[in-house]
Structure formats: C-alpha cells, structure tokens
Chains A and B, each alone.
Chain A
Amino acid sequence: MTVLKMKLNGKQVEVEIKPSDLLLNVLRDKLGLMGTKEGCGEGDCGACTVILDGETVTSCITPALKAMGKEVITIEGLSDGKELHPIQKAFVEYGAIQCGYCTPAMILSAKALLDKNPTPTREEIKTAISGNLCRCGGYEYIIAAIQSLIKP
C-alpha cells in the first residue's frame, strides 16, 4: 500500500491505495466519487474522463500514481452544490443529456476546452469531445450547449 496525495476538486486529499490501482477505481471505490463512469476499460469511450493538471485523461487506463502531487478535477468538483456550473446548466437547458451516462465526462471535456479556448469554433468543439462517445443524442445539442457559453 502507498499513499496518493493529490489536489482533488480544490481540496488536498490523501488516500491509501495499492500501487497498481487505476485512477478510476480510486475515485469511485476509495473516494466514493461515482460521477466518473466506466464504459469500456480501454480508453475507447471516454466515459471515465477526468481533468488531470488541466488536460483530459481517460482514468480507466491511468495508473492512480500518475496523479501524485497533481490536480484532479472530476464532475463533482464543478458545482458548489448550490448553483450549477454554467456548462452543467447549458447541458440541461439545451437537451444535451439523454441517458446521462456519458454526460459527466462530456462536461469535463467541454470544460477543459473552454478553460483553454473560450471561443472555440464548431470544429474545435467537435474535436474536443471526439473522445467521448455518446450513443443517445447524436452530439448536436451537446455542441449547441457548448456554443451557448461562448461570449461574443
């Protein structure tokens, strides 16, 4: 066993893990953050996406110790519990959510994009979410939700 120290959703956390644990399992099973989903276990679907030091990664194939000393943001870190984060609000309003299984990860991919590029083009938005598979909605309203956050 070893201790993973990281900044998680704005707070420093220390959690005892096995060196062979994957980040997804640490988040879900050790820290109870169930918003991060598993869809394939191989990095093919993006449902487990979290933000690691500003970059999206698929946590199902990320050794947990890659997060040592770094900052991790999961879906639970976006809202303060009172107000929805603007991206969350837009996803709800624009009908970008159907079954909701891909949604947390999709929102994080949108956040990583908008944090770096507040005025993305339609093509840049598509590429930014191209690693997040959605089978219900056909992406168009997800793109619309993200576009609604671009300030003119």
Chain B
Amino acid sequence: MRRWEQYFTPQSLEEAIFLLDKYKGAGKIIGGGTDLIPQFRDNKEESKYLVDVTQIPEMKEISLLEDSFVIGGAVTHAQLAGSQDVYNYAQVLAEATVCVGSPQIRNMGTISGNIVNAQPAADGAIALTALDAQVHITSADGEKVVPITELYRGVGKSKVDSTIEVISKIEFKKIDKVQNVSSAFERLASRKALALPMVNVAVCLKTTGGQFDWARIAIGPVAQMPFRPFLIEDELRGMPTDEESIRIIAEEVSQLVQPRSSKLRGSADYRKEMVKVLVGRALMKAIARLGSEPY
C-alpha cells in the first residue's frame, strides 16, 4: 500500500483551497475516502498531502430553497438517502443514494466523490445527471459552475482536478409533483447490497394533460460516462404518457446505447435489453407518482 505523508482537515473551504494551492499538485481532496483509500492500497494513487473536506460545515449541508436544492460537496450518501426533503423533492436522488454500497459506505462516501470518481455506473451521479445538476467547482482561481454532463473525460477520469480544485456544492431544480414534475430510479445488480449495478437508470419528467412536457433520462454504465439520450428526450416532448409510447421510447433508447460486455457485470446484449426494461420501468414509475395513488 502506498501512503500519504500528511493529512489535513481544514475547517473552511478557503483553507482547503489554500492547502491545495500550497502543495501545487501534490495534494489531493479526500471526501469519505471509500474510493481513494483502496486506490492507495492498490498502489494506484500517490498524492502526498490529503485535504479532508468533510469537516467543513457549509459543505455538509442540504438546503432546500424555494425551487432548488443546494447540496454541499461533502454531503454523504446516507444524508441524502435519509433526508425527508430529498425524498419529497428529489426522490430519484434518495432512491439512487440508498443503493450505494452498504450502510458503512453510504455513511462515509460523499456525493461529490461519486462525481469526481467518474465511474459511469455511479448511482448518485446517474441521479444527478437526470436532475441536470450544476456543479460548483472552487479553486484558487475562484468558482466556476459546470453542468454535470460536462465533467467527464472518460471512465474513471474527471475534468475536476482534485489536486487543485474541489466540488464545493451541487445545485439542481427541485422535483415538485405540484408542478407535475416527477422522478424515479431503477437498478439491476448481482445482489441487493454491496454491488455495483449492471444497469441503472434515473429519470426526471414533467407531464401536462397526459403528455410529456419534457423528460431527462440518465443511464449507466453504458458509455464512458452517465449517458443521456438527448435526441430521444427531444422526440418524446408531446408524446402521450401511456404504456405503448413508453415501450417505444424505451426500445429506442435501448437501440441507441452501446454498453460493453463485462465478465463480471453482464454481456452487452443483455445490458442493452435491460436498458429497455429499466427505462420503461423508471418512466412508468415516475408517471405513476404523479397520479393520485401512491406508487
């Protein structure tokens, strides 16, 4: 196992940025460490200075504003999965984060780690992709806001450079049934805990009078990053929200994705077929949630 030399727990964002700036690339942000520490163990990580952002009060808050959420970069999966606000106004995120790893991993792992780790299967990031999250990234040069879909360079490769910058917060519009907006998450895995998904799907949508106003569909792991079928999302505006239309949409999405075969998590043709099943189920579930009956 490789080892870091020093470990800092700054109490403010400014302090964290100062430390990164001071070590000029030899430092690195650590959140829960659930991905980073195993990378040290496997000799794949060699940063010398770790900057732990989980003690920074403002980064640990979930704030529900009038029509949006602001999630601190150090908020854990367990916080999101257990938040009544998130359940009420971003159900897809609650459903996704409760699927991550195990209770222990959810207690430690952070939502921003889920983004920076850049795994196309990351449940939290899939949900945030469907939520069209805007990610606030802070460095010594200041803050920039980037849509989550633009943060990926490849499998395991993020455009967020944790040696010089940190995800300070994540922002997205709340999902409010009163406005006919709804969301849902579906997942298929080898077992019911401690398992990466074979396929996961998150959807957010708005309907009016039995028709789609819009829908955002995020799918993993079928590409180098969480996948959004933008063309199909455009196509479905105005389509009826009945079973037949959803079947057609799901089929089209399935045709579009090009998952890889994995020796551990399923062949390409199976995953492609499961994309169809899960997209269909997620859309149905989200639509059902807009109805009067509880789903």
Direct contact of A and B (CB under 8 A): yes
CB distance B7 to A131 under 8 Å?
no
Kindly specify which of A29-37, A60-68, A81-89, A94-102 makes contact with the partner chain: A60-68
Partner of A63, one of B7, B78, B101, B192: B7
**Chain B hits for A66, CB < 8 A:** 9, 33, 52, 54
Chosen A-B contacts, 27 in total, with CB atoms closer than 8 Å, are A19-B5, A20-B7, A41-B38, A42-B41, A43-B34, A43-B101, A43-B102, A43-B104, A52-B107, A55-B107, A57-B104, A58-B102, A58-B104, A58-B105, A58-B108, A61-B38, A62-B37, A63-B7, A63-B50, A63-B52, A65-B52, A66-B33, A112-B103, A127-B103, A130-B193, A130-B194, A132-B102
Chain B residues whose CB sits within 8 angstroms of the CB of A133 once the complex forms: 194
A112 (CB) vs chain B CBs: closest residue = B103
Determine whether the beta carbon of B103 is less than 8 Å from that of A130.
yes
Contacts beyond the supplied A127-B103, A131-B105: 11 A-B pairs with Cβ under 8 Å: A18-B3, A19-B4, A42-B38, A43-B101, A58-B108, A61-B33, A61-B41, A63-B30, A63-B52, A65-B7, A130-B102
Q: When the two chains form their complex, are residues B33 and A49 in contact, meaning their CB atoms are under 8 A apart? A: no
Q: Is the pair B78, A20 in contact by a Cβ cutoff of 8 Å?
A: no
**Which chain A residues lie closer than 8 Å to B50 at the CB level?**
63
Residues of chain B from 74 to 117 with CB closer than 8 A to chain A in the complex: 78, 101-105, 107-108
User: How distant is the Cα of A125 from the Cα of B30 in the complex, in angstroms?
Assistant: 30
Is A114 part of the contact surface with B, judged by Cβ < 8 Å?
A: no
- The B15-43 residues at the A interface (CB cut-off 8 A) are 30, 33-34, 37-38, 41
Closest A residue by C-beta to B54 = A66
In the complex, the answer to whether A56 meets B107 with C-beta atoms within 8 Å is yes
Decide: A49 and B194 in contact? CB cutoff 8 A.
no
Identify which of B9, B30, B54, B102 contacts A131 (C-beta below 8 A). B102
Interface residue B292 (Cβ < 8 Å from any Cβ of A): no
Flag if B107 contacts A22 (CB, 8 Å).
no
In the complex, what's the smallest C-beta–C-beta distance from B81 to chain A, in angstroms?
A: 10
The contact of B105 among A18, A43, A52, by CB within 8 Å, is A43
Contacts of B108 in A (CB 8 A): 57-58, 61-62
A127 and B193 form a contact (CB under 8 A): yes
C-alpha spacing A55/B192, complex, angstroms: 21
B179 at the interface (CB under 8 A from A): no
Bound-complex Cα distance A145 to B44 (A): 42
CB of B6 within 8 A of chain A? yes
Per the bound structure, the CA–CA distance linking A52 and B103 in Å amounts to: 13
CB distance from A82 to the nearest CB of B (A): 30
- A103 on the interface (CB 8 Å rule)? no
Query: Is there an interface contact between A20 and B107, defined as CB atoms closer than 8 Å?
Result: no
Lowest 9 CB-CB distances: which A-B pairs, in order? A131-B102, A130-B193, A20-B3, A55-B107, A61-B37, A19-B7, A65-B7, A58-B104, A131-B104
* Interchain CA distance A41-B194 in the complex, whole Å: 14
CA A65 to CA B194, docked complex, whole Å: 25
Shortest CB-to-CB span from B224 to chain A, Å, is: 24
Q: Which residue from chain A places its CB closest to the CB of B98 in the assembled complex?
A: A127
In the complex, what residues of B have CB within 8 A of residue A42's CB? Answer: 38, 41
Q: Indicate whether A46 sits within 8 Å of B102 (C-beta atoms), given known contacts A63-B50, A130-B193, A131-B193.
A: yes
Contact code string A40-54 (vs B, CB < 8 Å = 1, else 0): 011110100100100
| Residues 177-199 of B contacting A (Cβ, < 8 Å) | 192-194
Task: Identify which of residues 89-146 in chain A touch chain B, using a CB-to-CB cut-off of 8 Å.
Answer: 109, 112, 127-128, 130-133
